[in-house]
Amino acid sequence: MAKFDAGPPITRPALRRDEVVSGIKDYIVRNQLRPGDPLPTEAELCEAVGASRSSVREAVKTLSALDIVDVRHGHGTYVGRMSLNALVESLAFRGLLTSEDDHLVLGQVVEIRQTIEQGLAPQVADGLDDEQLATLRRLADGMAEAAERGEDYLELDRQFHLLLMEPLHNDLIQQLTGAFWEVQSIVTPTLGAAHKEALTLTASLHLAIVEAAEAHDIAALRNAVAAHYAPIRELIASAKSVKA
C-alpha cells in the first residue's frame, strides 16, 4: 500500500468546512496525487486534516461537486478529473438568470470563444492534418444535411469545435472550448428557436471554416471564424434592442 505524507498533525478542535476542503486539497498536492489516484480512507483523511468524520464528509461532497474528487460508492474516493463542470453550471445558470435582461453572460461567452479561435488560427491552420481536415468536412456536411431536414445538430457542432482545437495538444484549451460551447448551447435557446434557414446558414459557415483551414489560409480562417459568430452576435444585439 502506498505511503502517504499526512503532514504535521492539526490540533484545532473545530475546523470550518472551507478549512477542511483546503486541507484535503493540500493533502492531494503534498502527496503528488494525480487524477484517478485513490485517496486514503475516511479515517486517515480525518487524521491528516485534523477534522471530524462529518466535516470530512461535507468537504468531500464539496470537492466532488467541483470534480476535484470522485466518490465511487463501494470502491472509495479518488482524485477527480478536475473538469470544468462547475464552471459550466455556474456560467449557464448566470446566463439563464440574465437572459431576459441583456444576455450579458452569453455575449461574453461568444466573445471568448471567438477570441480563442481567431487568436489560435495560425496554430490551427498549420497543425490540422489531412485526417482531421477530412473529419471536419464530414461534420460540416453532416450539419448541412441535418439542416436540410430541419433538424438540430448540436453534437456535430460540439465535435467540430473540439476537433478544431485538437492540433494544439493543449488539454486546458480543449476543456475551455468544450465548457464555453456547452454554456452557449444551454443559454442560446433563450433567444428563440433556430429556424431551418438559420441552421442552414450556420452549417455553411462551418464549411467556410473548413475550406479556410484546408487552404492553410490564416487570414481567411480568422474571417471565417468571425463570420461564424456574427449571427449569434446579431441575435444578442437584437434581443437587447427589443428589451430596450
What does the pLDDT look like over 133-164, one tens digit per residue? Answer: 999 999 999 999 999 999 999 999 999 999 99
Q: Which residue has the cell 463501494?
A: 74
Domain that residue 131 falls in = 85-243
For the segment 92-115, the average pLDDT, to the nearest whole number, is 78
- Maximum C-alpha span of the chain: 67
Please tell me whether residues 232 and 207 are part of one structural domain: yes
| pLDDT for position 187 | 86
pLDDT digits (tens, 9 = 90+) for 167-194: 999 988 998 899 899 889 888 888 876 7
Please tell me whether residues 53 and 168 are part of one structural domain: no
**What is the pTM for the complete model shown?**
0.72
pLDDT digits (tens, 9 = 90+) for 10-19: 444 456 878 9
89 inside domain: yes
Domains identified in the chain, total number: 2
Please tell me whether residues 158 and 205 are part of one structural domain: yes
| pLDDT for position 161 | 97
pLDDT digits (tens, 9 = 90+) for 37-80: 999 999 999 999 999 999 999 999 988 877 888 898 888 899 98
Please tell me whether residues 116 and 168 are part of one structural domain: yes
What mean pLDDT, rounded, does the chain reach? 87
3 inside domain: no
Most confident option among 25-39, 93-107, 212-226: 212-226
Please tell me whether residues 55 and 168 are part of one structural domain: no
Please tell me whether residues 156 and 75 are part of one structural domain: no
Return the minimum-mean-pLDDT range out of 14-18, 63-67, 119-123, 232-236. Answer: 14-18
The answer to whether 140 and 203 have CB atoms below 8 angstroms apart is: yes
12 inside domain: no
| pLDDT for position 13 | 44
Please tell me whether residues 66 and 108 are part of one structural domain: no
5 inside domain: no
CATH of the domain at 177: 1.20.120.530
Beta-bridge partners for 38: 78
User: Quick check: 234 pLDDT over 70?
Assistant: yes
Please tell me whether residues 67 and 111 are part of one structural domain: no
Return the minimum-mean-pLDDT range out of 70-74, 128-132, 197-201. Answer: 70-74
2 inside domain: no
Please tell me whether residues 185 and 66 are part of one structural domain: no
CATH of the domain at 61: 1.10.10.10
| pLDDT for position 100 | 55
Please tell me whether residues 238 and 162 are part of one structural domain: yes
Beta-bridge partners for 77: 71
Please tell me whether residues 219 and 101 are part of one structural domain: yes
